Homo-oligomer: A and B are copies of this chain.
Amino acid sequence: MPQRGRPRGFDADEALERALEVFWRQGYEGASMSDLTAAMGINKPSLYAAFGSKEELFRKAVARYAEQDMGYARRAFAQPTAYEVVATLLRENVLAVTRPDRPAGCLSIQGGTACSSDNAAVAGFLAGSRLAGEHALADRFTRAVAEGDLPADADPAALARFVMSVTEGQAIHAAAGVAREALRQTAEIALAGFAAVSGARLPARADTPA
Contact = CB atoms under 8 A, between A and B. Distances in A.
Given A162-B186, A189-B159, A172 B29 contact: no
12 contacts: A25-B114, A105-B113, A110-B113, A110-B114, A127-B175, A131-B178, A157-B182, A161-B186, A164-B173, A172-B172, A192-B197, A193-B197
Contacts of A170: 165
B169 A114 contact: no
B177 A127 contact: yes
Q: How large is the interface on A (under 10, 10 to 19, 20 to 34, 35 or more residues)?
A: 35 or more
A196 B159 CA distance: 16
Most chain B Cβ neighbours within 10 Å, of A109, A114, A131:
A114
Interface in A146-165: 155, 157-159, 161-162, 164-165
